[in-house]
Structure 1
């Protein structure tokens, strides 16, 4: 136990100020001398031992009646290891512009609000902490130290399975662990949300898998880079949040993982830059199985890596033709609505009318063939009253599918496409019927055929004869009553009979397909 006589002058000032919650400020007022980066050179007049801070927080000097004890210290060089692991800390801690010789260990502690602002700290270990208040690390520089008891990797800030009743604030902070875990916060519960704004920079991976963030994750203007071996700079797999805001110039030089994230409101990448990992062909964004209400995907430019939205579900999709990279995985992606103008014309989020061809080109960015993206797009077109566009999408689906079939199946597919547009363009059958009827009528009208039974045949009518050849079901009495001695006209008759059967079969197949799908 420390005695008052053993304390240095700055430590005695802190000891005396603590019971009344007064701040002890050891800064000189000179910008050059107060630079935290030069804190290792601060002398004994600005040095406070970590053991003294721990002793005060653990009740070494009781509070004065009518006052609230708070440890407030600014401009100090803190020597030694601040170890409060497993402690019950009943007092708030506020440190500003301090230089820490060693890291801070708060693992498993129960504490009030903690603020380490504008300081340099070689690692904060706060796994399993229970904090009644907020964790404020604004403007601080956190550097990775030794591997923590919770994982083998080095980490600059550990909040694994921590519970913070307020917000975790890292605005304008710099977290440094290149190639390692800059922030490891799997299972974090931050009721007030996590704020990494105003120039926040992370060198290393930020891990928030399974985190619960009722106040959301706010990363407006943040920079995350130097991913680890997986190429991931931000991992929010299976996280639950109100909002995920990667806006205002947010930049990720590596993969952003949102696999299985559950977001009750908005996921926004408006104005973001998604560069993807610097090496390889890994994705810039993986959001498989994500659930969100609004998905605002309007980055500043198309991501340099692929975007994976397989099995994701969103209520509202905001996008433009400039949103997407060359590869977009869309199999199973479900959206309730896409940006639509007041006129009812489908538009992108920039207000530009997007044609069916534009959206089909978007689907074709997905590798391979899958029917679901086409059916999803067609369903949306129907929901906004564009049935013709929906049929165009479903026709494009059949044409894409045809490329995956055998040779014979592709031949039959081409036939269906030319005759009835796979059932989505039944008027084509009428065009073929009219063209063949005109051909037959004009050709057969130049000659008179030979009657099968002279004197008994009905008068020859070229139009009726042609229709009798083209319609395979029933009969009009002309085909069986006349035959041609002219070989070329007889072959034309045979061809028209064949075309009639093919056309009828195509119409039945196409209509059946359409009725089954709709």
Structure 2
């Protein structure tokens, strides 16, 4: 138990003003002497022991009725370890421009606002803590602490299963754990939002699995660095948030993973840079099964690795010329509308020259064959009132599918394509019928056939005879009445019959398919 007589002058000052919540400022006022990076060299006049801070927060110096106690300290060198694990703390903690000798533990604690701003902290453990107020680490440098019983991974800041009723402010903070987790916050609940902008830097994985962020996640201008060929810079799997802001120069050197994340409003990467794992084969952006209303992928430059949108669902998709890398996983991706940004202007992605060709190249970046991306794109064109563009997409789908078939099926597919465009170009059948009709009429009209039975049947008419051969259903009475003694003309008649069956079958199959899909 500490006695007042054992306290040093700065500790006594802190002890005396604690009941009134006044701040003790030990800074010299000289910029060079107040640099936190050099805090380990500050002398006894600027040193406060961690046990004094712990004692005050746990009620060693009672607060008079009508007063609001708080521990407020600036410019101090804090020696020892602040261990408040499991404690109930009724006073806010305000620490500014301080240098901590050892890590801080708030594991399982119940506390008020905790602010460690512009300080250097060798690890902060706040897993399972409940903070009635906000957690503020504005401008602080938090380095990976030692492996503990609670975490087997190196972690700079741990908020695993913590609940912060206010916001978590990490603006301008630097979280350093190159070999582990810069931020370990799986299951975090923060009602007031998580702010990681204004120069926020994380060396190590930012881990927010299953986090609940009704106030949103804001990482404008953040820099995330995760070394290793399969490094994950940000893991936000199965999280629930109101909005996700990765914009204004947000840069990730590692995978950004939003698998199964549900966002009630917008997800934006406007002006972001997604480099993917350095030298690795992991995706730059993984949004499989993500759900969002507005998805803005107008990047500053093309991602270096793949973008995975399999099974994602968004109402509005925004893209630009930098949005898509060489590989884009689109199977199961559902969207209601697409808007494109060209020269800084955002407009509808339909109705302008080259729109369909551009979208077809987009789908072509998806490895392998899957019908869903084509059908989704065609559905969007139909909804926008561009039925001709929708048919072009569905025709491209059949041509892509044909490459996956066996030789015989590919041959039949080529025939359907040439004759009726798989039912999406039925006018081709009319052209073929016209060409064959002219061919037969001119050829047969230059020769005289032989009657099957002398004196019976209608007079020979080359046009009607040709049509009778091409139309397999019914009969016009010509081909049953006349035959050819010339082998060449007889084979021509057989070929016209065969083409008639092929064209009729192709038209029926193609139109039926088009009606079913459209």
Taking structure 1 as the reference length, the TM-score comes to 0.96
Q: What does residue 367 of structure 1 align with?
A: 367
Moved more, 253-262 or 451-460: 451-460
* CA drift at 1:447: 2.0
| CA distance, structure 1, for counterparts of residue 299 and residue 350 of structure 2 | 12
* CA drift at 1:460: 1.8
Tell whether the 8 Å contact from 1:329 to 1:366 is kept in structure 2 after alignment: yes
* CA drift at 1:504: 1.1
Q: Structure 1 residues 350, 57: closer, same or farther in 2, change over 3 A? A: farther
SS in 1 for 2:134: strand
Tell whether the 8 Å contact from 2:267 to 2:296 is kept in structure 1 after alignment: yes
SS in 2 for 1:339: strand
Q: What does residue 60 of structure 1 align with?
A: 60
Task: Describe how 1:336-355 pairs up with structure 2 within 5 A.
Answer: 336-339=336-339, 355=355
| CA distance, structure 2, for counterparts of residue 276 and residue 504 of structure 1 | 53
Instruction: Name stretches of at least 5 consecutive residues in structure 1 with no aligned partner.
Output: none
Q: What does residue 508 of structure 1 align with?
A: 508
* CA drift at 1:352: 6.7
Moved more, 122-131 or 52-61: 52-61
Moved more, 188-197 or 379-388: 379-388
| CA distance, structure 2, for counterparts of residue 240 and residue 230 of structure 1 | 25
Task: Describe how 1:218-297 pairs up with structure 2 within 5 A.
Answer: 218-227=218-227, 230-297=230-297
| CA distance, structure 1, for counterparts of residue 15 and residue 349 of structure 2 | 59
Instruction: Name stretches of at least 5 consecutive residues in structure 2 with no aligned partner.
Output: none
Q: What does residue 311 of structure 1 align with?
A: 311
Q: What does residue 409 of structure 1 align with?
A: 409
Q: What does residue 493 of structure 1 align with?
A: 493
Structure 1 position 214 matched with structure 2 position 219: no
| CA distance, structure 2, for counterparts of residue 204 and residue 412 of structure 1 | 55
| CA distance, structure 2, for counterparts of residue 161 and residue 349 of structure 1 | 42
* CA drift at 1:82: 0.5
Moved more, 487-496 or 415-424: 487-496
Q: Structure 1 residues 466, 347: closer, same or farther in 2, change over 3 A? A: farther
| CA distance, structure 1, for counterparts of residue 322 and residue 52 of structure 2 | 57
* CA drift at 1:72: 0.7
Q: What does residue 85 of structure 1 align with?
A: 85
Give every structure 1 segment of 4 or more consecutive aligned residues whose post-TM-superposition deviation is greater than 6 Å.
349-352
Tell whether the 8 Å contact from 1:290 to 1:312 is kept in structure 2 after alignment: yes
Tell whether the 8 Å contact from 1:321 to 1:348 is kept in structure 2 after alignment: no
Tell whether the 8 Å contact from 1:429 to 1:503 is kept in structure 2 after alignment: yes
| CA distance, structure 2, for counterparts of residue 437 and residue 324 of structure 1 | 49
| CA distance, structure 2, for counterparts of residue 144 and residue 456 of structure 1 | 104
Q: Structure 1 residues 354, 77: closer, same or farther in 2, change over 3 A? A: farther
Q: What does residue 195 of structure 1 align with?
A: 195
Tell whether the 8 Å contact from 2:377 to 2:390 is kept in structure 1 after alignment: yes
Tell whether the 8 Å contact from 1:125 to 1:148 is kept in structure 2 after alignment: no
Moved more, 357-366 or 79-88: 357-366
| CA distance, structure 2, for counterparts of residue 351 and residue 484 of structure 1 | 55
Tell whether the 8 Å contact from 1:320 to 1:350 is kept in structure 2 after alignment: no
| CA distance, structure 2, for counterparts of residue 226 and residue 317 of structure 1 | 28
Q: What does residue 23 of structure 1 align with?
A: 23
| CA distance, structure 2, for counterparts of residue 450 and residue 100 of structure 1 | 111
Q: Structure 1 residues 385, 203: closer, same or farther in 2, change over 3 A? A: same
Tell whether the 8 Å contact from 1:205 to 1:228 is kept in structure 2 after alignment: no
RMSD of Structure 2 on Structure 1 (CA)? 1.7
Task: Describe how 1:124-163 pairs up with structure 2 within 5 A.
Answer: 124-163=124-163
Q: What does residue 179 of structure 2 align with?
A: 179
| CA distance, structure 2, for counterparts of residue 349 and residue 454 of structure 1 | 69
The count of residues paired between Structure 1 and Structure 2 equals: 514
| CA distance, structure 1, for counterparts of residue 322 and residue 465 of structure 2 | 58
List per-residue Cα deviations over 1:74-126 (Å, max 9, x = no partner): 00000000111111100000000000000000000000001000000000000
Q: What does residue 121 of structure 1 align with?
A: 121
* CA drift at 1:66: 3.1
Tell whether the 8 Å contact from 2:25 to 2:73 is kept in structure 1 after alignment: yes
Tell whether the 8 Å contact from 2:121 to 2:140 is kept in structure 1 after alignment: yes
| CA distance, structure 2, for counterparts of residue 74 and residue 350 of structure 1 | 59
Q: What does residue 383 of structure 2 align with?
A: 383
Q: Structure 1 residues 86, 422: closer, same or farther in 2, change over 3 A? A: same
* CA drift at 1:301: 1.0
Q: Structure 1 residues 348, 281: closer, same or farther in 2, change over 3 A? A: farther
* CA drift at 1:349: 7.1
| CA distance, structure 1, for counterparts of residue 370 and residue 154 of structure 2 | 42
| CA distance, structure 2, for counterparts of residue 475 and residue 347 of structure 1 | 56
* CA drift at 1:340: 7.7
* CA drift at 1:386: 1.0
| CA distance, structure 2, for counterparts of residue 227 and residue 493 of structure 1 | 73
Q: What does residue 447 of structure 1 align with?
A: 447
